[in-house]
Amino acid sequence: MRARDLAAPFPTVGLDTSALEAARLLAGSDLPGLIVVDRRGHPTTVLAGTQVLRMAIPRYCIDDPALARVIDEDHADRFLSDLADRTVEQCLPDKHGELPVVDPKATVLEIAALMARARSPLVAVVGGGDMLGAITLDALLDRMLGT
Amino acid sequence: MRARDLAAPFPTVGLDTSALEAARLLAGSDLPGLIVVDRRGHPTTVLAGTQVLRMAIPRYCIDDPALARVIDEDHADRFLSDLADRTVEQCLPDKHGELPVVDPKATVLEIAALMARARSPLVAVVGGGDMLGAITLDALLDRMLGT
């Protein structure tokens, strides 16, 4: 089995999409992450769900649990509202890890190894410069285990 | 909103559960990860889905994409079969990161910061030594965004 056999349509967001809209897409569709595409539709970033969450959280709260603890409940409840005024591009991390993208010919082991290495439950399948679809961890396991 | 308001029942696996059975549970129930409990039912490890996948993949394939590429398609297709003869305990990584566990009083910001820091779309809620339930990234976003 190859990546081309597993690739399925997957919604994408643009760099100029509102970050709040992107978070809503993630939440509303039970997706494990988001694929950000440039104007030509090519994947520029693949974000695991926890990386999308990271866009909304002040850096000091991620680095130090004690600092997250001093924010009171009312303010904590509103932490996602900061996303409303920003685009996906403005929220993206400065440093990217390995882009979770595979060739259509990649085997399931290559796909799984990439998911494990990049800690991404989502990979994009790109051939000839075009995005052919995406593979989720869940879809991969379902196909391998017949669940 | 606090962790105790968000905690929901979540299936667990034991240290002596078959690793293949654990992978089937992950795949079949669309869970974002697994919670491994000791004999007293206390969470000992919380594994994101990509960490469960890691249990089945030879280390050299994770470290080096070129080595994963030389395994032929037939062998690649069977990579999960190695899980059948091992228990969850035998497959767990030697080193654990921060255990994604929160106190029932944790705010949504604390929960989100932990998910982002540990890159875990799943946290267990533990109070008085007992596991009260778990919170998924998806459930957190659904409650915060009303999707």
Where residue B117 sits, what CATH number does that domain have?
3.10.580.10
| pLDDT value of position A104 | 97
| pLDDT value of position A82 | 79
| pLDDT value of position A147 | 64
Residues of chain A with C-beta less than 8 angstroms from the C-beta of B62: 113, 116-117
Q: Do A32 and B27 touch (CB under 8 A)?
A: no
Residue A109 CA to residue B73 CA, distance in Å, equals: 8
The structural domain count of chain B equals 1
Mutate to test the interface with A, among B141, B142, B143 (most CBs of A within 10 A): B141
Question: Exposed e or buried b for every residue in B2-15, given b needs 16+ CB within 10 A?
Answer: bbeebbeebebbbe
For chain A (length 147 residues), average pLDDT per consecutive 10?
A: 94 91 86 90 87 86 88 86 85 78 95 92 91 94 82
| pLDDT value of position B147 | 64
Residue A143 CA to residue B77 CA, distance in Å, equals: 10
Nearest CB partner across the interface for B50, out of A72, A119, A144: A119
What own/partner pairs with CB < 8 Å and gap ≥ 24 does A63-72 have?
Answer: A63/B117, A65/B110, A65/B113, A65/B114, A65/B117, A68/B107, A68/B109, A68/B110, A68/B113, A69/B106, A69/B107, A69/B110, A71/B107, A71/B109, A72/B107
| pLDDT value of position A9 | 94
> For chain B, which residues score pLDDT lower than 70?
96, 147
Q: Show the domain range for A72.
A: 3-145
| pLDDT value of position A56 | 85
Length of chain A: 147
Contact A125, A133 (CB under 8 A): yes
Q: What is the DSSP string of B31-94?
A: -SEEEEE-TTS-EEEEEEHHHHHHTTS-HHHHH-HHHHHTS-HHHHHTGGGGGGG-BHHHHS-S
| pLDDT value of position A106 | 95
Residue B74 sits at the chain A interface (C-beta within 8 Å): no
Nearest CB partner across the interface for B68, out of A28, A68, A109: A109
Complex confidence, ipTM: 0.86
Residues of chain A with C-beta less than 8 angstroms from the C-beta of B32: 32, 49, 121
